[in-house]
Amino acid sequence: MSEILLFEALREGLQEEMDRDPRVMVMGEDVGHYGGSYKVTKGFAERYGDLRLLDTPIAENSFTGMAVGAAMTGLRPVVEGMNMGFLLLAFNQIANNAGMLHYTSGGNFTIPIVIRGPGGVGRQLGAEHSQRLESYFQSVPGLQMVACSTPYNAKGLIKAAIRTENPVILFEHVLLYNLKQAIPEQEYLVCLEKAEVVRSGRDVTILTYSRMRHHVLQAAKNLVHKGYDPEIIDILSLKPLDLGTIGHSIRKTHRVLVVEECMRTGGIGASLRAALIEHFFDDLDGPIACLSSQDVPTPYSGPLEELTVIQPWQIVQAVEQLCQSKSSC
């Protein structure tokens, strides 16, 4: 086991795949000699050369389209968005081309492309740099979406995403890049369609992902001290949802709390609640609670920014309200 930071885990996973498969290449703004805005590709330019590590102009629509074309003709491109919010400029290429060409070509083309980069609400990055694009892309047919939350799953997910034949969007949170964890030195993959049971419990199922995993774990310490026993699931796969793992938990706890950084309207939580009501309504002992960010552009002001995002004390309060009292749990 070696202890590394999350951005280093992404680098290790990407490097292992580029060493393993000469078809894997990277493109994006400043990914070359600069090493990427968060140093995920540091040292790659010297190791792989300019043809496998392509520095692009500030033209997201163009280079994402080029990556789709490269995937159609046999390469396995990894596109880095310097900030995920900038990839809205490439929405047409991602939605109408990356997501649909396998289907609209009658299966003649596969699009093994990975689109990754920093997103989420940072610390005073402003509205345009605090986007949560999972809400935008979840309804696009043909796309897979995963969100890493630890160095372990970051490395395993990026390796699995590069190897699949499907187009994958890997969401990384800008505030988790310096998160440290010991991970195995031997090779491993993390399933792109499987949730992770972070903590087993019997009172309530808490479904979360990305940075909110750590807010939930912080809240869980308080909850356990108060006598509650929450089960925590990091859904990891935002699309498709692992309803098998989630359903097994719900049949045990009969209560659900969704905690997300995404917006409440049209967010992952909204889709998750709809799926749970459809599939597990009879297993629920009460309404599904959902804690989401407020439906406002993220303020630049630090105190106002904090008010828009769910905090651990709100998670504790929501679980207490769900259970009503320790005796009812």
Catalytic annotation present for 46: no
| Cα–Cα nearest to 250, from 272, 210, 281 | 281
227 alpha-carbon distance from chain centroid: 31
The span from the CA of 60 to the CA of 89, in Å, is 6
Q: Which residues of 125-161 are buried (b: 16+ CB within 10 A; e: fewer)?
A: beeebbbbbbbbbbebebbbbbbbbbbbbbbbbbbbb
∠ at Cα 280 (319, 190), nearest 5°? 80
Catalytic one of 8, 17, 80, 129? 129
Catalytic residue among 60, 80, 172, 231: 60
Q: Is the alpha carbon torsion for 309, 284, 231, 169 positive or negative?
A: negative
| 248 included as an active-site residue | no
Q: Which residue has the tokens 């930071």?
A: 5
Could you list the beta-strand ranges (E) of 82-223.
114-119, 144-147, 168-173, 180-183, 196-199, 204-208
Which residues lie closer than 8 Å to 178 by C-beta, 6 or more apart? Answer: 5, 6, 7
CB contact set of 313 (below 8 Å; sequence gap of 6+): 219
Exposure b/e, 43-55, CB count within 10 A at least 16 = b: ebbeebeeebbbb
* Cα-based distances in Å from 74 to 21, 24, 209, 220, 293: 12, 10, 33, 46, 40
Q: Provide the 8-state DSSP code for 149.
A: -
Report the candidate in 228, 202, 214 with the shortest Cα–Cα distance to residue 316.
228
- Measured CA angle at 126 (ends 120, 130), to 5 deg: 15
Question: Which residues are marked as active site?
Answer: 60, 129
